[in-house]
Structure 1
Amino acid sequence: MNLIDWFQKGLTYEEYKAQMKVNLDEMNLIYEKFELDEQQKSELTALKGRTSKVIVLTEDWCGDALMNNPILMKIAKELNLDVRFVLRDSNLELMDQYLTNGTARSIPIFVFIDGEGNEKAVWGPRASEAQNLVDTLRSELPPKDAEDFEEKQKELYKKIKQTYLEDQNLWHSVANSIISKLKNEK
């Protein structure tokens, strides 16, 4: 299946939100609060017309998706991109073409394509600043065989999610990371 076929198979943003069971309120909150700054808008102006569509590999339970997807939607609005959401867990054939480090089905993954379905850029699953945050917090976890590992891991996920919901500097880091990837597209 080529990328245009995958794109056509995907859900619109409204369809994606309508089927969400997890993180909808959080995703909407970020979408409502986040605004691209003037520098970002200026950089995006220079990129208009280079790509026309985005395939988003995602799932509603994903903490990274709850932050990254609404930021992508603001960028897509600025660039007039058509965005479709493809659910990872029921589309592993596509997901397995975009593994992180060649092994992980990490999401979200944003595949930017032109009107003919040619891949122009791929971004995801995290901006480097978000990865650094996650790595730092994970380094504080006890060993996996520790009695309190699961409890501490749940606390870690809550802390990451709360940071994703509140840290507007992190939101701008995500936008900058996506914009940087688009500037260097194929």
Structure 2
Amino acid sequence: MNLNEWYQRGLSSDEYIHSMKQNKEEMLTIYEKFNLTAEDQGKLGTLKEQQLRVIALSEDWCGDALLNNPVLMKIAEAAGMELRFVLRDQNLELMDQYLTNGTSRAIPIYIFINKEGEVVAVWGPRAAEMQAIVMERRSGLPDKDAPDFQEKQMAMYKQLRDSYLTDAGIWQTVADSIISKLL
């Protein structure tokens, strides 16, 4: 199946949000609070004539999607890009074409395509700076066999999630990362 067909099968932003069972309010909070800089809006405005579209491989349970999707939505609006969400777990055929490090079904993955359905850029699942933060925090966890591993890992994920919801600097880091793929 070509990417234009995958795009057509995807959910609009409104359909995706309406279907969400997890992280909906949190994602919408980021969407409402995050604003692109005037400079970023100007840069993205230059993309409008390209009529790019975005396929977002995502799931509502994913913490990285909670952070990245509302930022992508703002970028898509500023660049005049139509955005469609394709649920990873129901569309492994597409997901398996965009594995992270060739092995991982990590999401979200954003596939930017032109009118012909050709790939212009692919981004995800995290901004490099966010990946570094996650790896640093993971390195502080006890061994997986340790009795307190699960507890410490859950605490780490909660701290990350809390920062995702409140740190506007993180939102801008994600925006910068996605925009750098497009310009």
CA distance in 2, matches of 1:86, 1:130: 23
Q: CA offset at residue 51 of structure 1?
A: 4.5
Q: Which amino acid aligns with 1:3?
A: L
- Could you say what secondary structure the match of 2:104 adopts? coil
Which position in structure 2 is the counterpart of 1:79?
Answer: 79
Q: CA offset at residue 52 of structure 1?
A: 1.9
Q: Percent identity?
A: 57
Q: Structure 1 length normalisation: TM-score?
A: 0.96
CA contact (8 A) 2:52 2:82 kept: yes
Which position in structure 2 is the counterpart of 1:94?
Answer: 94
Q: CA offset at residue 47 of structure 1?
A: 2.6
Which position in structure 2 is the counterpart of 1:54?
Answer: 54
Which position in structure 1 is the counterpart of 2:11?
Answer: 11
- Could you say what secondary structure the match of 1:174 adopts? helix
Deviations 1:76-124 (A, max 9, x none): 1001111000000110000000000000000000000011111110000
- Could you say what secondary structure the match of 2:48 adopts? coil
Q: Which amino acid aligns with 1:70?
A: P
Q: CA offset at residue 42 of structure 1?
A: 2.3
Aligned pairs, how many?
A: 183
- Could you say what secondary structure the match of 1:49 adopts? helix
- Could you say what secondary structure the match of 2:116 adopts? coil
CA contact (8 A) 1:51 1:112 kept: no
CA distance in 2, matches of 1:167, 1:13: 23
Pairing 1:1-186 to 2, within 5 Å after superposition:
1-183=1-183
Q: Which amino acid aligns with 1:24?
A: K
CA distance in 1, matches of 2:2, 2:140: 42
Q: CA offset at residue 44 of structure 1?
A: 1.3
CA distance in 1, matches of 2:98, 2:14: 24
Backbone CA RMSD of aligned residues: 0.9
Greater CA drift, 129-138 or 54-63: 129-138
Q: Which amino acid aligns with 2:96?
A: D
Unaligned runs of 5+ in 2: none
Q: Which amino acid aligns with 1:160?
A: L
Q: CA offset at residue 24 of structure 1?
A: 0.2
- Could you say what secondary structure the match of 2:93 adopts? helix
CA contact (8 A) 1:51 1:120 kept: no
Unaligned runs of 5+ in 1: none
Q: CA offset at residue 46 of structure 1?
A: 2.8
CA contact (8 A) 1:56 1:84 kept: yes
CA distance in 2, matches of 1:100, 1:107: 9
Q: Structure 2 length normalisation: TM-score?
A: 0.97
